[in-house]
Amino acid sequence: MKIIEVRVDQIHFISDMVRDGEFHSHPGKPHDAKQPMLTIVCDNGIEGHYVGPMVKGVIEGGCSQVLIGEDPLFRERIYRRLLQYQRLQTELNERTLCAIDCALWDIAGKAAGLPVYKLLGAYRDTVPCYGSIMVGDDIKGGLDTPEAYAEYALKLVKQGYKAIKLHTWMPPIIPEPSVDMDLEACKAVREAVGPNIPLMLDPYHYYSREEALRLARGLEKLDFLWLEEPMDEHSASSYKYLTENTKLQICGPETAEGKYMTRADWIRFGSASIGRAGALTCGGLTSLIKCLHLYEANGMSVEMHGNHIANLHLLGATGIDGKYFERGLLHPMLDYEVPKPWFTANYDKMNENGDVIIPQGPGLGYEFNWDYIKNNIVK
Amino acid sequence: MKIIEVRVDQIHFISDMVRDGEFHSHPGKPHDAKQPMLTIVCDNGIEGHYVGPMVKGVIEGGCSQVLIGEDPLFRERIYRRLLQYQRLQTELNERTLCAIDCALWDIAGKAAGLPVYKLLGAYRDTVPCYGSIMVGDDIKGGLDTPEAYAEYALKLVKQGYKAIKLHTWMPPIIPEPSVDMDLEACKAVREAVGPNIPLMLDPYHYYSREEALRLARGLEKLDFLWLEEPMDEHSASSYKYLTENTKLQICGPETAEGKYMTRADWIRFGSASIGRAGALTCGGLTSLIKCLHLYEANGMSVEMHGNHIANLHLLGATGIDGKYFERGLLHPMLDYEVPKPWFTANYDKMNENGDVIIPQGPGLGYEFNWDYIKNNIVK
Residue B165 lies in a domain: yes
Q: Are A46 and A66 in contact (CB under 8 A)?
A: no
What is the structure's pLDDT at B241? 98
Contacts of A108 in chain B (CB under 8 A): 118-119, 121
Residue A120 touches chain B, beta carbons under 8 Å: yes
By C-alpha distance, the chain B residue nearest A270 is B268
What is the structure's pLDDT at A321? 67
Identify which of A76, A296, A318 has the shortest CB distance to residue B318: A76
Residue A111 touches chain B, beta carbons under 8 Å: yes
Mean pLDDT score of chain B: 96
Contacts of A112 in chain B (CB under 8 A): 111-114, 119
Q: Are residues A11 and A94 in the same domain?
A: yes
Q: Are B316 and A76 in contact (CB under 8 A)?
A: no
What is the structure's pLDDT at A21? 87
Q: What is the tens place of the pLDDT at every residue in B29-59? A: 999 999 999 999 999 999 999 999 999 999 9
* Domain limits for position B346: 118-357
CATH number at residue B44: 3.30.390.10
Identify which of B76, B113, B124 has the shortest CB distance to residue A121: B76
Q: Are residues B202 and B275 in the same domain?
A: yes
Residue A73 touches chain B, beta carbons under 8 Å: yes
Q: Are residues A371 and A338 in the same domain?
A: no
CA distance B75 to B103: 10
Identify which of B79, B122, B289 has the shortest CB distance to residue A74: B122
Residue B294 touches chain A, beta carbons under 8 Å: yes
Q: Are residues B87 and B170 in the same domain?
A: no
Mean pLDDT on B354-368: 98
Angstroms from B241 CA to nearest CA on chain A: 20
Q: Are residues B109 and B149 in the same domain?
A: no
What is the structure's pLDDT at A322? 65
Q: Are residues A252 and A335 in the same domain?
A: yes
Q: What is the tens place of the pLDDT at every residue in B171-212? A: 999 999 999 999 999 999 999 999 999 999 999 999 999 999
Residue A281 touches chain B, beta carbons under 8 Å: no
Q: Are A349 and A339 in contact (CB under 8 A)?
A: no
CA distance A348 to A129: 10
How distant is the alpha carbon of residue A139 from its chain centre? 25
Q: What is the tens place of the pLDDT at every residue in B301-329? A: 999 999 999 999 999 999 886 689 999 99
CA distance A334 to A327: 14
Q: Are residues B232 and B304 in the same domain?
A: yes
Residue B280 lies in a domain: yes
- Interchain contact, B124 vs A77, CB within 8 Å: yes
Indicate the SS3 state at residue A122: coil
Q: Are residues B240 and B157 in the same domain?
A: yes
Provide the domain count of chain A: 2
H or E segment to which residue B95 belongs = helix B94-112
Q: Could you tell me what percent of chain B has a pLDDT over 70?
A: 99
CA distance A347 to A362: 13
Residue B69 lies in a domain: yes
Exposure pattern of A278-291 as b/e (b: 16+ CB <10 Å)?
Answer: bbbbbbbbbbbbbb
Residue B208 lies in a domain: yes
Per-position pLDDT tens, chain A of length 379? 999 999 999 999 999 999 998 899 999 999 999 999 999 999 999 999 999 999 999 999 999 999 999 999 999 999 999 999 998 899 999 999 999 999 999 999 999 999 999 999 999 999 999 999 999 999 999 999 999 999 999 999 999 999 999 999 999 999 999 999 999 999 999 999 999 999 999 999 999 999 999 999 999 999 999 999 999 999 999 999 999 999 999 999 999 999 999 999 999 999 999 999 999 999 999 999 999 999 999 999 999 999 999 999 999 999 886 689 999 999 999 999 999 999 999 999 999 999 999 999 999 999 999 999 999 999 8
Q: Are residues B93 and B186 in the same domain?
A: no
Angstroms from A123 CA to nearest CA on chain B: 4
Q: Evaluate the omega torsion of the peptide bond into residue A120 and state whether it is cis, within 30 degrees of 0.
A: no
CATH number at residue A316: 3.20.20.120
What is the structure's pLDDT at A320? 82
What is the structure's pLDDT at A323? 81
List of residues 6+ apart from B84 with CB closer than 8 A: none
Q: Are A136 and A178 in contact (CB under 8 A)?
A: no
Phi then psi for residue A137, to 5 deg, are: -140, -170
Angstroms from A292 CA to nearest CA on chain B: 9
Q: Are residues A263 and A297 in the same domain?
A: yes
Contacts of A123 in chain B (CB under 8 A): 74, 76-77, 80
Give the pTM.
Answer: 0.94
Q: Are residues B181 and B222 in the same domain?
A: yes
By C-alpha distance, the chain A residue nearest B110 is A112
| Cα torsion through B324, A282, A315, A197, rounded to 10 | 140
HSE of B63, CA atoms in CB hemisphere, 13 A? 31
CA distance A131 to A152: 11
Residue B239 carries which side chain, given as an amino acid letter? Answer: Y
Report the complex ipTM. 0.89
What is the structure's pLDDT at A240? 97
Q: Are residues A95 and A229 in the same domain?
A: no
Residue B302 lies in a domain: yes
What is the structure's pLDDT at B323? 81
Out of A84-88, A147-151, B231-235, B368-372, least confident range? A84-88
In A89-208, which ranges are continuous DSSP H helix?
Answer: 94-112, 116-120, 146-159, 179-193
